[in-house]
Amino acid sequence: MSAPAPTEPASTTTAPPPSARRRRPVRDALLHTLYGRIGLVLLGLLLIVSVLGPLLEPHGTNNAVGDPFEAPSTSFPLGLDDGGVDMLSQLIAGARVSLIVGLTAAAVAVLIGGAVGMISGYVGGRTEGILMRITDYFLTLPDVPLMIVAAALFGRNLTNVVIIIAAIYWTSTARMVRAEVKSLRERPHIQRVRSLGASHGRILRHHILPGIAPLLAANVVLMISTAIFAESYVSFLGLGDPNAITWGGLIEAASTSSAVLRGAWWAIIPPGLCITLAVVACSMVGQTIEDALNPRLGAGHLSVRTFGVLPLSRFKEKR
C-alpha cells in the first residue's frame, strides 16, 4: 500500500488590514512623486528649524547687535531690523511660533468640523438640517472683518488667534466629512453591523471613524497652510500677539517702520518667502495625500488639479 502523497502546507499569508491598504498609496504618492517629495522636504525643513530653533539662532532675538536696518553682511546674513536685532534669528523664532499656531488651529478646526460632519452625516434628519444651517451661517461670515472684531473684543494673544482661526475655518471640514459619512453609512458592511445590533457609538468608533481618518489627516495638513496664512495676515494687520515673534508680525513691524522707504528689503522679503514656502509645502503634502486617497480628484477636465500651478499628474514618475 503506497504512502499518501504529502500535502502542501497551507499558505500562512494574510491580507493586510484596510488601514494598511489605505496607508500604502499615501506613502507611495509622497515618496515616489516629485510633487510629494518637494512638499515633504520643505515641510521637514520647517519642522527641523522649528524644533531646533533655539540652537540655530545665531544672535538671539532680545538684544540689539548693530545699527537699525543694517544691511546683510557675513556677520548678519539677513541684516538687522529697525531695532538692530538680527533678522535671521527672528525668522527662526517666527517659524516655531507660526508652526505651533498653524498646527493647533488646524487640529481644533478639524476636530470641530469632523465632529459636526460625523453627527450630521450619520444621524441625518432634523439634526443634520440644523447643523448644516449653522455651517452655512459660518460660511457666509467674512473672514478678515470677523477676525478684526474678535481680536478687538477678546484681546491680542496667540490663544485667541488660534480660537478665531479655528472658529472660522472648520466649516469646509464639516461639509467634506458629512458627505463621506453619508456614503459610508449606506455601505453593506455598515448595514450588516447595524443589523447585528451594534450601538451607534460602536459603529461610529470602529467603522465610520477609521473610514474618514485618512480624509481628516489630509485635511489637517491642508488646514495648517490656511492657518499659517491666516495668522500671518492677522499679525500683519496688527491684531496678533505683540509679545510673540511671527512672520506676519515681522512684516507688520517692517511696514510701520518705513523699511520700504529706506530700501531695507531684507526686513520684508525673507518673512514673506517663509510664509510662502510654508503654505506651499503644506498644500503640496495635503493635495498629494488627497490625490492618493481619491484619484478621481484629478480625473475630470474641470478638476482643480487640472488648473493647478503644479498638477500632481505632471510630476508622476515611472516606477
Give the pLDDT confidence of 264-279 residue by residue, as tens digits. 888 889 999 999 999 8
- Average of pLDDT values for 207-224? 83
What was the pLDDT predicted at 112?
92
Q: First and final CA of the chain: distance in angstroms?
A: 55
What number of other Cβ atoms are within 10 A of residue 58's Cβ? 13
Q: State how far the Cα of 269 lies from the Cα of 311, in Å rounded to an integer.
A: 27
- Whether 231 and 248 have beta carbons less than 8 Å apart is answered as yes
Average pLDDT, the chain: 79
- Whether 86 and 68 have beta carbons less than 8 Å apart is answered as no
Distance of CA 284 to the CA centre of its chain: 10
This prediction has a pTM of 0.75
DSSP summary character for residue 238: T
**Rounded (to 5) percent helix, strand, coil in the chain:** 70, 0, 30
- Whether 70 and 127 have beta carbons less than 8 Å apart is answered as no
Give the pLDDT confidence of 149-184 residue by residue, as tens digits. 877 787 778 888 888 888 888 888 898 888 888 888
Give the pLDDT confidence of 7-34 residue by residue, as tens digits. 444 444 444 444 445 556 777 777 888 8
Q: Which residues contact 141 (CB under 8 A, 6 or more apart)?
A: 168
Q: Identify the sign of the CA torsion 227, 80, 156, 139.
A: negative
- Whether 180 and 215 have beta carbons less than 8 Å apart is answered as yes
What was the pLDDT predicted at 294?
65
Tell me the three cell numbers of residue 30.
509622497
